[in-house]
Structure 1
């Protein structure tokens, strides 16, 4: 829950010190117990909030039956396994419908061999595309059924773009489907390839052709125009009617020294075609509300690993199956049963040891209004979705979708001094002409406490243009001064922090560079009791901090906190006893939880740790107001009380998969399920 954090006394250097006394007791790994949260279905009332039911601690937690349906859209076969797992395997285990869509055939140079063996291997693009399909089918079958040879039904289906695609259905679990569009790939990570999704997006070619696999039931070659690709993806969304879409990062940035893309061009432009299709699908009447998650690709190689050894090992095993590591021909085709290029390095460049959301990690999306009611915010159908619980408790109502589309996942919110709530986020503009593609910061606020929200206001972007950095800006963090003026902070494509301050007349000053180098992820912000704002941001090696020297003054820094490396995702909230700010993060390659308290009264001391805590997992830690909420190794929400003297954290698992990050507050924990619903776990009194 978004709260105003309080720091006390001291100089700027002192305010960034870590207190010596641990505020959270050492965790003891406990068997998680299961409980059922209250859920608010889209456009429906929720049941009265009663004490959640529980199962015995020894009973395994199963996903709740809910109308969740996931569609994953990636550029190449294996992008989902490298960059979206373990989320993929968790969805498969839940039993909910899951469809993976592969935009290109992934034919590369047509050589299915380890690099050391490539010289004597004949090139055959149709066969290599077939081998990659066989590897994906084996990997998915193994994740779902335990057997990589579990059979599939392969059929041709018409597309809304006027061509034909292949759809594979797992016989043993027919809710699992794979769709192969078989569009030609670029054949180069960053090289100039006009006949590619990149060239088609920018109008360098009028249409892009196909590359059919040797075993496909699709009987004829085809071409797609730019609009036909968008129509094809939108048509698949309409066919499978997802409540949640996983996709790649449409703005991975460039290297400033060379101008080259940080990620594969097919990843980037495949994601932009997907964005355009989602925008078109949002106008289709009667479809379920859709949430979206973006995943970082190649840049994860440079960043600390996020997965614990057990989860990373399971992810690697799936990639080894895809890579046909044992060479046993059990798929029955001469093309091969997997991707031997990957067999040379099935772990990728550290990719099986990590998964990272490109945005959508805010833990400050629930706020209390001036009347005591609670408000929760997310993004569905590219619009701001708002839920409300009246003062005094009772049923949550919502979501209400506010006007204005194009919002990216990952909004954050603040309560202003007069009791109004303001929401900040980024919006993608899919424009033709000179302006082209761009991402900008936007905000909206209630006209009065508890009232309606005004129209979105654009705060622009610190980026010079999409060509310079692919519009790669983070989600914003926000501090609010005592007079209500806000400061918006974000990371730009050069991996520095930039800020824009609100003026006394309500207008906004220019974007200015705050500095810092190698900043990744989304920054987080807090405000102390005197009204001074603080911002924290991660680098691959430590955490940097900025602070206002006086209430409402400019942010200055960066100052090195002395904290160790994190997995980048941070959250900040008031410490449980009200004395200072607690910063939460995770230890790399473990899932362990860590916290550091900033109170300005003690020198730097070791961080407080919750080793493993029986839940592991990855992503942000929401630790406000006596409750702790995290994503567990299972993908389910895990909650526990914390910060109470002598108390040992006892974890409870909620039986649903969720998107983004949870928000823990005084009254309970909120999370947005993959079903598009607000799930609310009331605090136990």
Structure 2
């Protein structure tokens, strides 16, 4: 899943979204701390292509986007809204193709603005980025070409605390940043930062009223943080080769950014530091069992504002979860399969 696939719903229950062959499955807590309901298909019985995306607005509704085959050699994007984890999601509706027709062009990314409108981004057939957004009165606006060249597949969409939508993308030797100038506006390309970027490592997070922060790995494997208008700063060496997950949370009364990543040893590694204070330093602490090579990690906070971490392995279908204990530091409960 591209995006935060572990989320807290409007009713306070946690849910996970899991790619499963030609479908997306959802599992939700039946009560605080579990147990969890059996997997349910999202959006009906349409067959989907790999690489779905999920985003969540301040109203806690989840928005999902995915490619579905339309005819031989062609595909189109579809969208579904999930209002509450334990209710059925809306059926998939077609939102078309950034080039009108053609095959899958890239992995979509979804974010939701302050008005609850989903924005779906995807690399287009020309190697740039296209976007389609929901209209305030309902329905969808047209596909917009946001430009760009040689854009890599992993887009990172995020909505800042201002409610404005932003997008990050990597191109050979650089990062690109788009941002809305006002609510409902088409995001514009505001900055290109020359820096080495390892493909598949982008993760964006709203970190203050003024800024979003992009986390990415450089060619050497170092994890870096970038806020547009500044230069990327080194944070620490990546724990492993895969993507990093990040959230803001309160740790012992401090506003912290918590990072998680599958480490080279196969376990989950955590690192925390004061939000937007990368110079304070951070270091990894490993937790849990060894995981398959394709396992990814997600972070959330539950209705009691406790940190929750989950791992998902597409090859096995197993989901493991842990919560922070009610004690100082980042002590975690034992990992358990749901």
Q: TM-score, normalised by structure 1?
A: 0.42
Distance in 2, Cα, partners of 1:457 & 1:368: 24
* Cα deviation, residue 684, structure 1: 4.4
Residue in structure 2 matching 1:394, options 19, 26, 34: 34
Mapped contact 2:164–2:182 kept (Cα < 8 A): yes
Report matched runs for 1:114-513 at 5 Å.
362-390=2-30, 392-402=32-42, 403-429=44-70, 431=71, 436-446=72-82, 450-466=86-102, 471-513=103-145
* Cα deviation, residue 647, structure 1: 5.8
Residues 398 and 582 of structure 1: CA distance in aligned 2, closer, same or farther (over 3 Å) = farther
Residue in structure 2 matching 1:592, options 210, 216, 222: 222
Larger Rg: 1
**Match of residue 294 from structure 2:** 659
**Match of residue 611 from structure 1:** 237
Residues 574 and 464 of structure 1: CA distance in aligned 2, closer, same or farther (over 3 Å) = closer
Q: Deviations over 1:627-675 (max 9, x none)?
A: 32223334x2422131146764323353121536322223322221221
Distance in 1, Cα, partners of 2:29 & 2:259: 21
SS of aligned partner of 2:199: coil
Distance in 2, Cα, partners of 1:633 & 1:646: 21
SS of aligned partner of 2:196: coil
Distance in 2, Cα, partners of 1:472 & 1:452: 27
Q: Deviations over 1:209-242 (max 9, x none)?
A: xxxxxxxxxxxxxxxxxxxxxxxxxxxxxxxxxx
Question: Which structure has the highest helix share of the two?
Answer: 1
SS of aligned partner of 2:122: strand
Distance in 1, Cα, partners of 2:222 & 2:172: 17
Structure 2 spans left out of the alignment, 5+ residues: 249-256, 275-279, 302-306, 327-338
Residues 484 and 669 of structure 1: CA distance in aligned 2, closer, same or farther (over 3 Å) = same
Report how many aligned residue pairs link the two structures. Answer: 305
Distance in 2, Cα, partners of 1:388 & 1:397: 6
Q: Deviations over 1:604-643 (max 9, x none)?
A: 244123135xx3x323111223432223334x24221311
* Cα deviation, residue 447, structure 1: 5.2
Residues 639 and 399 of structure 1: CA distance in aligned 2, closer, same or farther (over 3 Å) = farther
Residues 488 and 398 of structure 1: CA distance in aligned 2, closer, same or farther (over 3 Å) = same
| The 10-residue stretch of structure 1 (398-407 or 482-491) with the greater mean CA deviation from structure 2 | 398-407
Report matched runs for 1:20-31 at 5 Å.
none
**Match of residue 102 from structure 1:** none
Q: Deviations over 1:476-503 (max 9, x none)?
A: 2223222212221110122100011211
Distance in 1, Cα, partners of 2:190 & 2:125: 18
Distance in 2, Cα, partners of 1:512 & 1:395: 43
Distance in 1, Cα, partners of 2:241 & 2:308: 21
Distance in 2, Cα, partners of 1:363 & 1:488: 12
Q: Deviations over 1:524-546 (max 9, x none)?
A: 11111221110000001111010
SS of aligned partner of 1:554: coil
Mapped contact 2:308–2:324 kept (Cα < 8 A): yes
Mapped contact 1:408–1:428 kept (Cα < 8 A): yes
Mapped contact 2:28–2:86 kept (Cα < 8 A): no
* Cα deviation, residue 579, structure 1: 6.8
**Match of residue 62 from structure 1:** none
Structure 1 spans left out of the alignment, 5+ residues: 1-359
Q: TM-score, normalised by structure 2?
A: 0.81
Residues 610 and 556 of structure 1: CA distance in aligned 2, closer, same or farther (over 3 Å) = same
Mapped contact 1:659–1:671 kept (Cα < 8 A): no
Q: Deviations over 1:327-377 (max 9, x none)?
A: xxxxxxxxxxxxxxxxxxxxxxxxxxxxxxxxx5x2421221111111110
Q: Deviations over 1:250-283 (max 9, x none)?
A: xxxxxxxxxxxxxxxxxxxxxxxxxxxxxxxxxx
Mapped contact 2:57–2:111 kept (Cα < 8 A): no
In the alignment, does 2:150 pair up with 1:515? no
Q: Deviations over 1:35-68 (max 9, x none)?
A: xxxxxxxxxxxxxxxxxxxxxxxxxxxxxxxxxx
Mapped contact 2:25–2:40 kept (Cα < 8 A): yes
Greater relative contact order (Cα 8 A, min sep 6): structure 1 or 2? 1
Distance in 2, Cα, partners of 1:671 & 1:658: 12
Mapped contact 1:473–1:492 kept (Cα < 8 A): yes
Structure 1 runs of 4+ off > 4 angstroms? 447-450, 644-647
**Match of residue 671 from structure 1:** 311
